Chain A
């Protein structure tokens, strides 16, 4: 690996992100903000949902925000840069193994996902207060889960971005990302699916389910959640799996 080149690639992405800061912020925060407001404030405020729902909702929103940001931050530029214009070519010709170009993309996406996740907490706190009960009993668990969730989203972005063509972006959203959110235990805990035993098993193939449950375990352990070792193990498996698949797809796209 060539550290100077890697840092330069990272600097390039940081520069472009800074240039697109305002749209990036809207894209990242508008949806979770609206969700928190409508479900946490409007619905709870009118008594349609119990006050405890506020605390249950927050980790799910955080998981959505992180996953989407990571996937988006890696997949969308890759899809665009591998298109007709081959914008990525100059970076593929940089004096570094091309897998590191992909790893750099993942790292950039991972950082963005972490920022997106962490910013949700103060935002939600402002909107949902009072009645929000967060219990950060194990800070290390929170750090670990946050890193693993960011990792799965960035690696997932790599795998998706190198497998989907530009004309199929819409399909990627409706066929992959939307079901992922609704079957990702984001707006409800996994235990709430106990009345749908088959569905409850099926959602376990969804990495977002472990992300939501993991953040629930780390931030609001008073609610039922999947066992922590299972969550950590599953997220690790997804991280590695998606990275391996993503790197393979990247090589395929990069070299003819």
Chain B
């Protein structure tokens, strides 16, 4: 079957500061000829290969500035790649832009609503841009407003909406023309827990209709809960990919044991490391120690917190730093 989303060796080098929301926090890479070349060259994508089957919820997981938004930008005709190719459902995104745009719905990281319009008008005009007739438009708009709990504010200008409400309008708008592929760039950032759960439910329902969803997140819980497949991205490169379970199983040692002592000392850590089953010991703060272990063992502890193998650990394992650093 044809891939829903495919990219081949996608590279993007910004010679001017990248737009906010796309690779914002990448530090300029130091180059040898700094004097001759005053414009900083920022490599946001460094050879991204993706192949996403139709009907999947696919997650791009990574810290801020890893290249998630730039990848979404290239796939949605908003960022021109320096080299490489991207396809949406068989259409080369940069050669057949219009055909590609018909296939996709996009929710950007920051709400980019049309502030001159009301919530309902935003949906109606979006439908009109995609050639829906007026009956389809008003039916779908009404249903989506209901679904996203926006009905009571539907006929007010979105200018006065809260961040969470704007985000809901953005997502409703992206679904308005029922696209085959839905892009959600950090969809739950800034949403309260209730709305986040509503959003997850809506994403799963949309996926059940056979639609492909690509979402970016730095929230492990979200990736774990929603995504059928994941790619972990950092410094513009994919460093691991697979199903969440596959990825978790790839961490050697399995469990992470977070130990808290009165205080710890170097000899204690050394002794912990020699215990059977322990693969790695890291000090955490003054009183804690993180043990990567294949099984539990006996020692006098003041606190034990056993985390299931998680994507956070996976990320820590691959990059040596925490996602929120």
Contacts and interface: CB of A to CB of B under 8 A. Distances in A.
Partners in one complex: yes
Interface of A: 2, 4-5, 8-9, 11-12, 15-16, 19-20, 84-87, 89-98, 255-256
A256 B73 contact: yes
A93 B101 contact: yes
Contacts of B116: 16, 19-20, 87
A28 to B, nearest CB: 18
A155 B79 CA distance: 25
Contacts of B101: 93-96
B129 A255 contact: no
Interface stretch (B104-112, B250-258, B277-285, B301-309): B104-112
A20 B20 CA distance: 31
11 contacts: A5-B129, A8-B125, A11-B128, A12-B117, A20-B116, A87-B112, A93-B76, A94-B130, A95-B130, A96-B129, A256-B78
Nearest to B80: A255
Interface of B: 14, 18-20, 22, 73, 76-80, 97-99, 101-102, 104, 106, 108, 110-117, 121-122, 125-126, 128-131, 173
Given A97-B98, A256-B79, A89 B130 contact: no
B130 A256 contact: no
Contacts of B130: 5, 94-95
A15 B14 CA distance: 38
A121 B205 CA distance: 59
A95 B20 CA distance: 25
A15 B157 CA distance: 13
A121 to B, nearest CB: 30
A5 B112 contact: no
B117 A16 contact: yes
B173 A90 contact: yes
Contacts, number: 88
Contacts of A92: 77-78
Given A15-B117, A90-B113, A255-B77, 14 more contacts: A5-B130, A8-B129, A19-B116, A84-B20, A90-B173, A91-B114, A91-B129, A95-B102, A96-B98, A97-B97, A255-B79, A256-B14, A256-B19, A256-B79
B125 A12 contact: yes
Contacts of A9: 129
A3 to B, nearest CB: 9
Q: 6 closest A-B pairs (Cβ-Cβ)? A: A8-B128, A94-B129, A89-B112, A86-B112, A16-B116, A95-B102
Nearest to A97: B98
A93 B98 CA distance: 9
A80 to B, nearest CB: 8
A83 B9 CA distance: 31
A133 B5 CA distance: 67
A93 B129 CA distance: 9
A113 B77 CA distance: 32
Contacts of B112: 85-87, 89-90
Nearest to B94: A255
Contact of A86 (B76, B98, B110, B129): B110
A5 B131 contact: yes
